[in-house]
Structure 1
Amino acid sequence: MHHSKLSTLVLDCQCDDLRDATAFWSAALGKPIAKVNVEGDGNYAELETADDEPLILLQKVEHPSRVHLDIETDDQDAEVARLEKLGAKRIAYVRGRWWVMEAPSGHRFCIVHKQRKAFGPHLNRWD
């Protein structure tokens, strides 16, 4: 048995500097900026969200701008296998930390480890 849930709305931003995109989305969504330069490489920023809301992450990318979802889980291998049975396919394992997957509809999404200390309350249980 394992658990998973929607974790993060990721705004993929094709840009030279993530600061302008972060300022725009902060104002547009009414969410203060929680962190800029999350990993020290200028590629990630995070907006503040309540504990029961998905995280909102901005990511600097080379591909065209889009939005993708992250699903967090307490068993990454089991969640990837479950989604493959539903028709998803593995695209890439990134930095030894998350799987980029593709849904049968062509949408890309990521399978990540738990993102917040409190994993609940909106968990799905999979046997």
Structure 2
Amino acid sequence: MHHSRLCALVLDCKVDDLGDAARFWSAALGKPIAALDQDGDGRYAELRTADDEPLILLQKVEHESRVHLDIETDDLEAEAARLERLGAKRIAFVRQRWWVMEAPSGQRFCVVRKQRDAFGPHLNRWD
């Protein structure tokens, strides 16, 4: 048995300055900036959300700007396999930390390790 849930909305930003994008999305969504440089490498910013809301991350990318979802899980392999059985494809295992997947309808999304201490009330349990 493993667990998963919707974890994050990720705004992929093809920009020179992620700070400008973070300030725009902060104002647009009414969410304060939690971190302009989450990991210290200039690639991720985070907006502050409540514990029962999905994270809102901004990611500096080289490809065209888009939005993707992250699904967090306590078992990466089991969750990726479950999604494959539903018709998704594994695209890439990034930094040995998360799977980039593609839905049968073509959207890309990520399967990531658990991001918050508590999964919260919106948890799916899979056998």
TM-score in terms of structure 1 length:
0.99
Which residue is 2:110 aligned to? 110
Structure 1 unaligned blocks of 5 or more: none
CA RMSD across the alignment: 0.5
Number of corresponding residues: 127
Give the AA of the match of 1:8: A
| Separation of aligned partners in 1, 2:85 and 2:91 | 15
| Separation of aligned partners in 2, 1:25 and 1:120 | 25
Which residue is 2:54 aligned to? 54
Which residue is 1:33 aligned to? 33
Deviation at 1:120, TM superposition (A): 1.9
Query: Would you identify which runs of 4 or more consecutive aligned residues in structure 1 move more than 2 Å?
Result: none
Secondary structure at the aligned position of 2:12 is classed as strand
Q: Does 1:70 align with 2:70?
A: yes
Once the two structures are aligned, what percentage of the paired residues are identical? 80
Which residue is 1:124 aligned to? 124
Give the AA of the match of 2:36: V
Q: Does 1:4 align with 2:4?
A: yes
TM-score in terms of structure 2 length:
0.99
| Separation of aligned partners in 1, 2:125 and 2:109 | 20
Task: Describe the superposition over 1:2-43 as per-residue Cα deviations: whole angstroms up to 9, x where unpaired.
Answer: 110000000000001101000000000000000111111111
Q: Does 1:17 align with 2:17?
A: yes
| Separation of aligned partners in 2, 1:40 and 1:93 | 22
Task: Describe the superposition over 1:79-111 as per-residue Cα deviations: whole angstroms up to 9, x where unpaired.
Answer: 000000000000000111000000000000000
| Separation of aligned partners in 2, 1:105 and 1:124 | 22
| Separation of aligned partners in 1, 2:38 and 2:120 | 24
